[in-house]
Structure 1
């Protein structure tokens, strides 16, 4: 009987199925064949085939076949992308990271024959740029050096930034732009105003220059300028306009002569002269000069009417006329049958003297002369009036004799010579002192007095009254009226003083430096009063400080300098990150300026769900936990619990769900 044989085993098998004879002879009755799959596939159906006596293989109802192994789906890495949707054996997934993130792990992962993806888990980490270049005369704010983090360059006071102040960490791990530089802020010399001077030798940031005008010129514009952060002076160069004095006015009974007549007024240095009209004499100074402060150097003079005084009346004579001023005429006549000897009329002249001489009347009896009289303020020696009698005349101290000091009675009954007169000594015009005026005067003759006073804002240490003496001079000297000064009130600590004139009615103003506030704020200006004292004390400059910066939950303040102009930043505790780069500056009157950030938990992103598995947990931020489970009968390979860590990554290894029926190693065979 012939041996039973079965059809060729290859014809019975599907694609990717391999076989191996384990007993008997191939294709003969009793032969046993073990089936397996090519790598990457797993078997469905009988594993052991036997050649039956009826010449068939024991394949059963369903022919054994090989199915391709699946590795499960791969999730997209946070901040990255995945190319490739197949998850079966031989499939590949290509990973890329978003701009600014660096790929750590496998760039390409392949589904292996064991049902696992090749290589380590792919992660996209923020790029790191390293410490930014330092800046001389400045500082850097910001402590994050990862992708998209920013740092801010700031210059120290007195310097300005050239270049970009903000640099960003780019995806190529380099800081954007170029390192800026801090250069000194300078405005340069502002120049000198015409007829003026610029005072100051430093022209850098916050330096102040003061502008002054030459004597006789008035400043128009700002008297000071400060160098600003834009390299420009805070105000333009002022102009110096020549000082004009107001019209000094006219003097009654005087003519004014101007050395210079300008339509715009009386400029600095101009002199006006007053000349009294005929019949008047000058009391005070005839010339007034316009000074640098816009005031005339002296008060206006007065023109007083010329008076010759009482002309006197001889004995036995009658005086007709009661006006004794310039141009007035008086007439003399004798009583009874007496005859007038001398001038019958006299006129008051411009020199304050009566014309001619005092006449006299003849005697009643032959051989006698009439009584010649005794001059006022004088004395007479001799009382006989007969012929050949001699009379001598003299004057009191302060008076001088005009006429004949000796007179003789002639045979014809008349006196020889001219009737003497005792005229008061004249001391002349006492003048007006600079910055003063005459309060009262009773003339310029012996025993007269003149009283002076100084202008407001001026004072004198000398006498203010002068008397006309017998020798024709005024006592003392005209008072020296000096301008009242309150003295330098002193500079202000942490401030600037404006004003260098400390005399009467002048003001000195103060301004505090940036970062300081004035106390009291209402008293920046002080004024010099007539008692040589400032009207109140100068203010003080108090440093401006900001209070504690606003708190940030899960964050802390970086920086301890809360003075005006200082800056602080924030940092977050472990596992938290700033919502934005934040720098707050102490500005204004002690207020923090800038947007306060938030400290947000680090975000790890969706870790992904394995194929044939499920994920428990909806939060993907710092300290959040997620749990993985596989559907039955799949087994979980990897971490069943993962925690979001402070560095933005998940702990453990991303799990995979595999079929337990296909997790054995293929038969290695028997050598």
Structure 2
């Protein structure tokens, strides 16, 4: 305001100096013109009709720019209106915040000047600055201006205290000239969140609770149960303090421990008595104990009972006890029955062992020798227990073989291969002749009479005769076509005789089939041999959805039988059992008696639809099947009865591997009592002129109605 007054005074001084200079200028001009004496000069400036200067003072406002109004001043000059010129915005214009001066100037024709000032100051009212919110933050729409709305928020884990979350800056007119601004509500603060304390202090029965930060925000309370108790599925074992309170609910501790058997018997080993292969089990049945203290009566037993006669083997005995919560406790022990046995008596040449009770403990074995042997040693031995095993009271005896006298070769003969013959019982002594001779009875065998301790040579004395060829052994596959020829009846074939050979069925001949005995007593050509006929196993593959057995080798011998079969639920392409035999193809090769087979899935005929019923559906491997079609092995079909009928037989039936349906065919029987529709009461009138009336029973008889029959 002072600045406005000083500025106005300066303008008046400058205007006065300007007017004085103008008057001196005009006086000098009048002196130069030598004009007549002029009239007195007008030196009075116009006068404003109001007191200048005008101060509107300080104007408080909540909005910028702000409209200011005032009455504009007027001026007169020697009782006449003087023109007034305004410098600045007119009344009612919008003004910004700060100091404002509007200048009015009045001038006459001289011209004399006078000025008037309108001054005022505009101040924008504001609320106090928003202070920092500890552990939170504030957001305002217009800062601290009037009309600004500030929203208070707290960090996670804290909540507002002291008022609402929003404050508004509003104007407050304390007097006609004094306008201020204040925030609504009161200063807020953020305080730490807490949840109810009862969660921390009230653990579940048979359990405990432990919290990380008591009942403060984000504290985690973990629940655990006493031994033998657990929190059931579906209930959480922890709770968290959140902004909306504790999560979840307090869990409970359920009894999950089964009963225990403190007197559960130990596993035991039993030994069978002499000449026995079983033992008697003996133990005391255990008693269950539960952690709840309740008496357990639900006890089941699996395995042999105490006092049972148990054959040799390993037995597992199980006792299972269940408490009122359905928890189970088990007692498991084993009983092993062992039979003491001695080692098997070794079998030596000529020894005969007779053990009535085998090699069981307590058994006795008697010893004798075979024909041609002499006993050397004990005649018996018994099996006894030694620690955990059985031992014989004596070692088995030996049987000494009987000996024949020494032999000499025949005249013109030698021992075969030049080696002297053994003389023990059962030995054979072979002889041969010098070149040009053939042997007759080339072998002697050392034998003995039953019950005798002396041995002798059995057979005719050998002789060396004219040379012959030895015919090959015909006990194998090699044969001669004519069994009655010399080659078929004689072992020694005279020189010059030709023999024909062939092979028995299942073999093919290798070499020449004709052989001639040479003069030297040997065959002129190598004798033929017989090789067995074989079939390739790969020529008879196993069928798809089946297999084969009896022919595991790559090549199978003549006469081998290979069985072909199909898996369960499949049927062979020909009648079963299917067997293929390895046969001779006549050219030295093997061929199977038949080819491979194929296996197709077994199918059952469609199920018969029961009278008053229907097939509800068929399914195979989770796939629906058409009930009206033949059904593959394993398909299940369900038959149902119409409403009002009761099924008798099997409802769900399965197609078996033999192409039949399991179970019994279902029938639907009407077991529902009929409903009788009784006619309503009827009043009949007597016929005219008569005291009786005619009743039509066909109209009044009850009618049987079955609501389930069409």
Give the TM-score taking structure 2 as reference length: 0.27
Max radius of gyration: which structure?
2
Greater RCO, 1 or 2 (C-alpha within 8 Å, sep 6+): 1
More helix by share: 2
